């Protein structure tokens, strides 16, 4: 499938990974002034991950439902390990 903007075939899936880190700080009695850290930054176990979408790697267009209007298929699912699932739009309408 070609990109509707630049006609190239160069798709990528974009995901965002947020890493949470913490660092201990000694607030003392809560008096005014700068309070120092007592240890180094430490990674938390949980990493938050979010799929942003399918993007053209040539012109940076993010593919949306609007770009797929009038086509046979739409994006049903973007899975982190399984891949991108395209679904027949006609079947979708039939089931509604
Ligand atoms: Zn493009």
- Write out the chain's pLDDT in tens, 96 residues: 999 999 999 999 999 988 889 999 999 999 999 999 999 999 987 777 889 999 999 999 999 888 988 888 889 999 988 999 999 876 555 555
All residues with CB under 5 Å from ion ligand 1 = 3, 5-6, 56, 58-59, 61
Classify residue 82: in a domain, yes or no.
Answer: no
Structure tokens at 63: 């593919």
Assigned domain for 77 exists: no
Is there a domain that residue 83 lies in?
A: no
Q: Which residues sit opposite 25 in a β-bridge? A: 37
How far is the centre of ligand 1, averaged over its atoms, from the C-alpha of 14 (Å)? Answer: 14
- Is residue 88, in this structure, part of any structural domain at all? no
CA distance 62 to 78: 13
Is residue 96 included in any domain, yes or no? no
Please give the model's pTM, rounded to 2 decimal places.
0.66
Distance in Å, CA 13 to ligand 1 centroid: 13
Find the 1 Cα to ligand 1 centroid distance in Å.
11
Number of domains in the chain: 1
Cβ–Cβ under 8 Å, residues 49 and 19: no
State the Cα–Cα distance between residues 67 and 51, nearest whole angstrom.
Answer: 18
Q: Looking at residue 37, what DSSP letter applies?
A: B
Domain limits for position 59: 11-69
CA angle 85, 89, 95 (to 5 degrees): 105
């Amino acid at each position: 499938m070609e990109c509707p903007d630049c006609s190239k075939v160069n798709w990528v899936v974009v995901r965002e990974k947020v890493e949470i880190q913490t660092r201990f700080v000694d607030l003392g009695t809560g008096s005014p002034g700068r309070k120092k850290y007592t240890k180094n930054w430490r990674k938390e176990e949980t990493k938050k991950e979010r799929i942003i979408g399918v993007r053209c790697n040539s012109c940076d267009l993010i593919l949306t439902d609007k770009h797929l209007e009038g086509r046979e298929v739409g994006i049903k699912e973007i899975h982190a390990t399984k891949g991108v699932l395209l679904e027949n739009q006609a079947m979708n309408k039939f089931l509604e």
